[in-house]
Protein backbone atom coordinates (compact mmCIF):
# COMPACT_ATOMS: atom_id res chain seq x y z
CA UNK A 1 0.00 0.00 0.00
CA UNK A 2 1.64 3.24 -1.09
CA UNK A 3 0.75 6.65 0.21
CA UNK A 4 1.62 10.31 -0.06
CA UNK A 5 1.49 13.25 2.33
CA UNK A 6 0.29 16.76 1.71
CA UNK A 7 2.82 19.53 2.15
CA UNK A 8 0.48 22.44 2.61
CA UNK A 9 0.88 25.01 -0.15
CA UNK A 10 3.06 22.85 -2.41
CA UNK A 11 2.64 19.53 -4.20
CA UNK A 12 2.14 16.30 -2.20
CA UNK A 13 5.09 13.99 -1.52
CA UNK A 14 4.95 10.37 -2.73
CA UNK A 15 7.43 7.89 -1.28
CA UNK A 16 9.26 5.73 -3.84
CA UNK A 17 10.35 2.08 -3.87
CA UNK A 18 10.63 0.62 -0.34
CA UNK A 19 11.12 3.98 1.40
CA UNK A 20 9.31 4.90 4.61
CA UNK A 21 8.62 8.32 6.07
CA UNK A 22 8.30 8.25 9.86
CA UNK A 23 7.64 11.05 12.31
CA UNK A 24 10.26 11.76 14.94
CA UNK A 25 9.00 10.90 18.41
CA UNK A 26 9.42 14.12 20.39
CA UNK A 27 9.48 12.23 23.69
CA UNK A 28 12.15 9.76 22.56
CA UNK A 29 14.91 12.12 23.62
CA UNK A 30 14.64 11.71 27.35
CA UNK A 31 13.75 8.68 29.43
CA UNK A 32 12.92 7.94 33.05
CA UNK A 33 14.70 5.36 35.18
CA UNK A 34 12.70 2.92 37.29
CA UNK A 35 13.36 5.25 40.24
CA UNK A 36 11.82 8.22 38.37
CA UNK A 37 15.07 10.01 37.50
CA UNK A 38 14.96 11.81 34.13
CA UNK A 39 17.80 10.70 31.82
CA UNK A 40 18.46 13.32 29.09
CA UNK A 41 18.98 12.36 25.45
CA UNK A 42 22.56 13.61 25.62
CA UNK A 43 23.51 11.04 28.28
CA UNK A 44 26.06 8.58 26.91
CA UNK A 45 24.89 4.98 26.68
CA UNK A 46 27.13 1.92 26.60
CA UNK A 47 25.12 0.25 23.83
CA UNK A 48 23.31 1.74 20.86
CA UNK A 49 19.66 2.43 21.59
CA UNK A 50 16.93 1.74 19.03
CA UNK A 51 13.91 4.06 18.69
CA UNK A 52 10.20 3.67 17.88
CA UNK A 53 8.42 5.98 15.42
CA UNK A 54 5.03 6.09 13.66
CA UNK A 55 4.93 5.56 9.87
CA UNK A 56 3.46 8.53 7.95
CA UNK A 57 3.95 7.33 4.35
CA UNK A 58 5.25 4.21 2.56
CA UNK A 59 6.52 3.52 -0.94
CA UNK A 60 4.77 1.09 -3.30
CA UNK A 61 7.33 -1.70 -2.73
CA UNK A 62 7.14 -1.75 1.09
CA UNK A 63 5.78 -5.19 1.97
CA UNK A 64 5.56 -5.50 5.76
CA UNK A 65 4.91 -1.91 6.86
CA UNK A 66 1.75 0.18 6.50
CA UNK A 67 0.83 3.77 7.32
CA UNK A 68 0.08 4.08 11.04
CA UNK A 69 2.38 1.22 12.12
CA UNK A 70 5.09 1.84 14.70
CA UNK A 71 8.57 0.77 13.61
CA UNK A 72 11.77 0.10 15.53
CA UNK A 73 14.94 1.44 13.91
CA UNK A 74 18.48 2.62 14.67
CA UNK A 75 18.44 6.43 14.98
CA UNK A 76 22.15 6.56 14.13
CA UNK A 77 21.36 5.34 10.57
CA UNK A 78 18.73 7.92 9.67
CA UNK A 79 18.20 10.70 7.16
CA UNK A 80 16.08 13.58 8.46
CA UNK A 81 13.91 15.85 6.33
CA UNK A 82 11.84 18.89 7.32
CA UNK A 83 8.37 19.29 5.80
CA UNK A 84 6.20 22.27 6.82
CA UNK A 85 8.30 22.79 9.95
CA UNK A 86 7.97 19.15 11.10
CA UNK A 87 11.00 16.83 11.18
CA UNK A 88 10.61 13.37 9.65
CA UNK A 89 12.99 10.45 9.04
CA UNK A 90 13.34 8.73 5.65
CA UNK A 91 14.55 5.12 5.65
CA UNK A 92 14.40 1.89 3.70
CA UNK A 93 12.07 -0.85 4.84
CA UNK A 94 15.06 -3.18 5.32
CA UNK A 95 16.41 -0.81 8.01
CA UNK A 96 13.38 -1.53 10.22
CA UNK A 97 14.10 -3.99 13.05
CA UNK A 98 10.48 -4.59 14.14
CA UNK A 99 6.89 -3.52 13.38
CA UNK A 100 4.16 -2.97 15.98
CA UNK A 101 0.57 -2.86 14.72
CA UNK A 102 -2.86 -4.08 15.80
CA UNK A 103 -3.24 -5.96 12.49
CA UNK A 104 -0.35 -8.27 13.46
CA UNK A 105 -2.17 -9.78 16.48
CA UNK A 106 -2.60 -13.53 16.16
CA UNK A 107 -0.54 -13.66 12.97
CA UNK A 108 2.85 -15.12 12.29
CA UNK A 109 5.99 -13.93 14.06
CA UNK A 110 7.68 -12.91 10.82
CA UNK A 111 10.53 -15.31 11.53
CA UNK A 112 11.75 -17.55 8.75
CA UNK A 113 13.30 -20.97 9.39
More confident of the two residues 48 and 8: 48
* The pLDDT of residue 49: 78
CATH number of 13-25+47-103: 2.30.33.40
With a CB cutoff of 8 Å and minimum separation 6, the contacts of 65 are 20, 55, 58, 71, 93, 96, 99
Burial group, residue 97, by CB count within 10 angstroms (0-12, 13-18, 19+): exposed
* The pLDDT of residue 102: 81
pLDDT, tens digit (0-9, with 9 covering 90-100), for 62-96: 999 999 999 999 988 788 888 888 889 999 999 99
Note if the pTM is more than 0.75: no
More confident of the two residues 112 and 98: 98
* Res 29 pLDDT > 60: no
Amino acid sequence: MSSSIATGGSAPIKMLHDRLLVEVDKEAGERRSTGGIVIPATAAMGARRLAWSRVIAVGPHARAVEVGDRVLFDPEDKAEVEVQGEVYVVMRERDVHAVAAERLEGGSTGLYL
